Structure 1
Amino acid sequence: MRITVVGSINLDLVATAPSLPAPGETVTGATLARHPGGKGANQALAAEKLGAEVCLIGRVGDDAMSGEALALMADMGVDLSGVETDVAAPTGVALIAVDPSGENQIVVAAGANHFVTPEQLPQRIEGALIVQLELPLATVEAAVGRSTGFVCANLAPAGPVSEALLRRADLIVVNEIEAAYYGDSLHRGGGRVVVTKGAKGASMYQRGVEMAWATPPAVEAVDATGAGDAFVAAIVVALLEGMDPAEALKFACAAGAVAATRAGAQPSAPEREEVEALLAG
């Protein structure tokens, strides 16, 4: 199972605080941690740990943060030959605040991610493809246009995309906020649409009709930062393995649940055995 991920690479600076700040509020008493992140990198690592052979295409800065940002993927064997170093822009950084329940607020400084261009992509992308919207839209759409196989578009963060991308995607994954942003346009293509709802689970639609739904197993959430990316990786792996929609949703919900029990977007990425054990009860 070969998956190419075209996406962002960040270093996450995570402040775990007693509460999340309201506008204009300063919250003290936080603890700081540094973790590899970026939606593209998170999904690449999670897919590799769930059993896929993954190649990541992205960009980092020529700085000390780049090594931290790539370390876990390198250790797990993700193919990083498609990651280029930008001598003029810094490695992307995400500033994340997390409260004791696992809820979070995130601000991203894209850095080198902003300079991933269509010229960096191969002319033909074989196998499955996963994209998100933390890279320039022209690059995302070029990747989708050059793909010859299964395409998953995680339309996060929400923003304008072309009708061609929506129609080409075999699978679109959004959360409830993103689903509201796109509205009925998500369902105009022939592909499947998955809407995630956090602890309430996820539903899969085709042409606007719900075809399957699942809820995650109960867990004690610590940090939801990487749960959505684990879900995306897992739903793609499950569908490529031939699971039916209901099975695939259950598998992906369990992967997201495991990820929510640990801190950090990439350190929380679940092993295949953990997901299967949680599903087995």
Structure 2
Amino acid sequence: MNTVFVVGSLNIDQTIRVPSFPRAGETIRGSDATFSPGGKGANQAVAASRAGAAVRLVGRVGQDAHGAAILQVLAESNIDSSHVKLTDSASTGTAVIAVDDQGENQIILSPGANAALSFADVDAGLATLTPNDVLVLQLEIPRDIVRHAARAAKLCGAFVILNAAPSPLEIEGLFDDIDLLVVNEQEIQDLARLANASGDLAELTETLPSVLGPAVLCTAGAQGAVTFLGRRPVHISAPEVSVADTTAAGDTFVGYLAASLAADRELPAAMAIAGRAASIAVTRPGAVESIPWRHELPTLQDHDTQSAALFLSHP
């Protein structure tokens, strides 16, 4: 069975609901804080596992109650966490998340133990990687760790996905060993500025691969997601849902996408499944707890993968 390997962050999420985001210097009253496991690495690993893939996660947590809570959730989601190492030099990473009444979020990250992830951790965790496997990376861990993991995966012929989130401050060498770059609306614009490129989301999805190297897949909320297979645009629609919280929606998409590709599905079909999973995640509060299991997804219809005409015509 092909495996999804994830090298990434593990955080405890401190979430506060607010009526609206504060302006500079403004104090607003929010809900009582809730604490739950998260981090882009953990979220994407959980999503891939709940999609039905065999998953191994490589990362670091602190030797504290938050780290123990994360490890418990990983076990409950059937994830191989034998390469999630404990460190006593830092506490478990923390994300402070504000969620407004429209379900949008703002996030502040404190990396904690994620910053202690080492080349040796990655080498040990990826030792059994094969050409049929998929590696998933994000940017909540040190940049040199991301590049090291991508290089190791490419040397053995695995397929490498990078979710470029948070947006990088520089891109030189970052995408050398990446096969598929997954970004959202803000991230693709950030990358375009770094690459001195311009255009709308669809145009950038088509043109950035010639500048950055890997294929680009852009998720765009209610507009769905788009990529290009050669010169052919592929767009998946987003079902209309009542949005409660967008936290981990992108991670759900990436994890489900990776699981489908590891199961040898074609990219358009993988996108359709991932989009359906993300549309469920946004109807639920929280991060890991919002990610659906595969049996919760509705049956996919032929029209779920469409022409990109609607997306391409969007201003």
TM-score (norm 2): 0.83
Preserved CA contact (<8 Å) 2:245 2:286: yes
2:200 corresponding residue in structure 1: none
Q: Equivalent residue for 1:53?
A: 54
Whole-angstrom CA distance in 1 between matches of 2:165 and 2:52? 24
How do 1:102-251 and structure 2 match up within 5 A? Answer: 102-122=103-123, 124=127, 125-126=129-130, 127-147=133-153, 148=156, 149-159=158-168, 160-163=170-173, 165-183=174-192, 186-188=208-210, 191-206=214-229, 209=231, 211-251=233-273
Distance 1:257 1:61 in 2: 32
Alpha-carbon displacement from aligned partner over 1:95-131 (angstroms, at most 9, x marks no partner): 0010122101100100010111212112643321000
SS at match of 1:45: helix
CA contact (8 A) 2:16 2:30 kept: no
| In 1: Cα distance, 2:37 partner to 2:245 partner | 15
Distance 1:102 1:64, change over 3 A: same
Question: Are residues 1:258 and 2:259 paired?
Answer: no
Amino acid at match of 1:131: L
Provide structure 1 residue ranges, at least 5 long, that are not aligned to the other structure.
Answer: none
Partner of 1:34: 35
More moved, 241-250 vs 230-239: 241-250
The answer (yes or no) to whether the contact 1:239–1:248 under 8 Å persists in 2 is yes
Structure 1 residue 279 displacement after superposition: 6.1
1:139 Cα offset (Å): 0.6
Number of residues of Structure 1 aligned to a counterpart in Structure 2:
279
Runs of 4 or more, structure 1, over 4 Å off, are: 277-281
SS of the residue 1:276 aligns to: coil
Alignment partners' CA distance in 2, 1:118 and 1:205: 33
Classify 1:119/1:186 alpha carbon distance in 2 versus 1 (closer, same or farther; 3 Å): farther
Report Cα offsets for 1:203-261 as digits up to 9, x if no partner: 11356x45201121111111100100000111222233333333222211111111111
What percentage of aligned pairs have identical amino acids? 38
Residues 1:92 and 1:262: Cα distance change in structure 2 (over 3 Å): same
- The structure having more radius of gyration, on CA atoms, is 2
Which residue number in structure 1 is paired with residue 311 of structure 2? none
Residues 1:19 and 1:278: Cα distance change in structure 2 (over 3 Å): farther
> CA 1:95 to 1:210, structure 2 compared with 1: closer, same or farther past 3 Å?
farther
| Distance in 2 of aligned mates of 1:200 and 1:22 | 28
- Quote the offset at 1:31 in angstroms: 3.1
Once superposed, what is the RMSD of the aligned Cα atoms? 2.0
TM-score computed with the length of structure 1 as normaliser? 0.92
Q: Summarize the Cα distance change of 1:279–1:97 in structure 2 as closer, same or farther, 3 Å threshold.
A: farther
Unaligned segments of structure 2, at least 5 residues:
198-206, 305-315
Q: Using the alignment, how far apart are the partners of 2:108 and 2:279 within structure 1?
A: 23
- Residue 44 of structure 1 contacts residue 55 of structure 1 at CA under 8 Å; is this kept in 2? yes
1-structure distance, mates of 2:56, 2:134: 10
AA aligned to 1:263 is P
SS in 2 for 1:122: helix
Partner amino acid, structure 2, of 1:233: G
